[in-house]
Amino acid sequence: MLPDSAAVRARWARVQENLRAEGADAMIVVKPQNTFYLSGYTPMIYSHPVLVVLPAEGDPVFVLHALRAHSSRQTSLITDIRPYGRWAKEIGPDHWWEVLVDVLRERGLAAGRIGIEGEFLPYAYHQRFSEVLPEASFADTGAALMRARYVKDAAELESLRVASAIADAGMDAALAAMAERRSEVEVSSAAMQAMQRTWSTDHPDRLAMDFGNLEGGVFNALWAYSLVGDRVPMNSAPPTTRRPVDGEIQWTVIWTAVDGMHAENERSVAFGRLNAERQAAFEALLAIREETAPYLRPGLTCAEVYEAAREAYHRHGYGDYLPGRIGHGLGLGPHEQPSLGPNDDLVLAPGMTLTFEPNLRIPSFGGLQHSDSLVITEDGYEFLTHTRRDLIQV
């Protein structure tokens, strides 16, 4: 479900607290995931700049193209909407930066310390900010906003449950297609068709949507791809007409985004009998998962979970194949912080959502990886994806 006004106000307050702690007077937010987080509104297509001005105190302001004035007034929980440009009878100043300067002057922030999203904000936008706000100073406060997103609220968790359920339906279809030895493209497409049907039939009130970039949009996000055998080490690549043969292992990756919240479900599947090397590797990976999962609980750091995995990889004789991380945050981005890797000291807390995906990439045959979506609970974790997690053989 989409957030309500109280949920969005709590989001503003969390980000504002982080901004004040970093000495910022306001933040200009342009990343699609973040403007959605603060407003509950997406234009789907971001080719006209969409900006939220969030002062460290007080309500935010939405700066949008006149083309988006109508749709944002229908759904945005930021109610102070200032259009630029012209569209039918809706006429604002020609350029977004004129509106931006007006808003910051009105709030007494034109000479303030302004936060920006350093890892996203395009260079040309920053140049424009500096030009039209010559007395302001700018600082990267992207982390202040991202930290506020770590613990998910009720609306987000509920969306993630639906995203996970749709991903499971996709994986069921993929497993059925693999049992028929279909090609990578056919497995991927079967999963996507099944997810379309599940969305349209069971969850038509949900937004099956992802976020675009500055050039376009993402209208739908019920995605799958699949790689067979020696193609697995490509990790992510468009599927092909390659079909499996007995003794090979295929890896299917499913991502879904519902109301913008991302779930992930990935499974390795063995075709017929595996040789001894592959059988041993698959069993070891399952054991590594079993032995590491209990460390997914509040109070431990991400690095401590990774350390538990590292020990398990060594214990099972696969220390040379330890990946750089064994999971990552899930939310409005498909790959968010935190990272279940050696350098992330974030302490896990209830309401954080993650993937859990220890893997093996073994050049002689490809690789192995199950990935589940999960939420950290009061005393451990709860898997949100429910496809069987054993040595799947078809």
Residues 68-127 that bind its own copies (CB under 8 A): 68, 70-71, 74, 85-89, 116-127
Q: Which tokens in the block code for residue 13? A: 């307050």
Site for its own copies in 142-181 (CB under 8 A): none
Please choose, from the candidates 292, 316, 306, the residue with its C-alpha nearest in 3D space to the C-alpha of residue 344: 306
Q: What is the closest distance, in whole angstroms, from the C-beta atom of residue 32 to its own copies in the complex?
A: 8
Taking residue 14's Cβ as centre, other Cβ atoms within 10 Å add up to 18
Cis preceding-peptide flag for 122 (omega within 30 of 0):
no
Q: What is the closest distance, in whole angstroms, from the C-beta atom of residue 11 to its own copies in the complex?
A: 19
By beta-carbon proximity to its own copies, the closer residue of 94 and 290 is: 94
Q: What is the closest distance, in whole angstroms, from the C-beta atom of residue 299 to its own copies in the complex?
A: 28
Q: What is the closest distance, in whole angstroms, from the C-beta atom of residue 303 to its own copies in the complex?
A: 17
By beta-carbon proximity to its own copies, the closer residue of 4 and 202 is: 202
Q: Does 334 bind its own copies (CB under 8 A)?
A: yes
Site for its own copies in 239-278 (CB under 8 A): 240-241, 253, 255, 262
Contacts 24+ apart (CB under 8 A), 3-9: 3/40, 3/77, 3/153, 3/155, 3/156, 4/77, 4/155, 5/77, 7/153, 7/154, 7/155, 8/38, 8/39, 8/40, 8/77, 8/78
Helix (H, G, I), strand (E, B) or coil at 354: strand
The binder of its own copies chosen from 235, 277, 343, 349 (CB under 8 A):
235
The binder of its own copies chosen from 15, 114, 171, 192 (CB under 8 A):
192
Site for its own copies in 38-67 (CB under 8 A): 42-45, 47, 67
Q: What is the closest distance, in whole angstroms, from the C-beta atom of residue 217 to its own copies in the complex?
A: 6
What are the φ and ψ backbone dihedral angles of 140, each rounded to 5 degrees?
-75, 110
The binder of its own copies chosen from 93, 217, 298, 380 (CB under 8 A):
217
Alpha helices in 180-301 (DSSP H): 184-202, 276-292
- Applying CB under 8 A, what is the total number of residues that bind its own copies? 80
The binder of its own copies chosen from 215, 345, 379, 390 (CB under 8 A):
215
Task: Tell me the DSSP string of 265-286.
Answer: EEEEEE-SPPPHHHHHHHHHHH
Q: Does 324 bind its own copies (CB under 8 A)?
A: yes
Q: Does 218 bind its own copies (CB under 8 A)?
A: yes
The binder of its own copies chosen from 54, 109, 163, 207 (CB under 8 A):
207
Q: Dihedral sign for Cα 103, 108, 110, 116, please.
A: negative
> Using an 8 Å Cβ cutoff, are 363 and 148 in contact?
no
By beta-carbon proximity to its own copies, the closer residue of 33 and 385 is: 33
Distances (CA, A) of 247 to 26, 67, 359: 58, 55, 19
Q: Does 392 bind its own copies (CB under 8 A)?
A: no
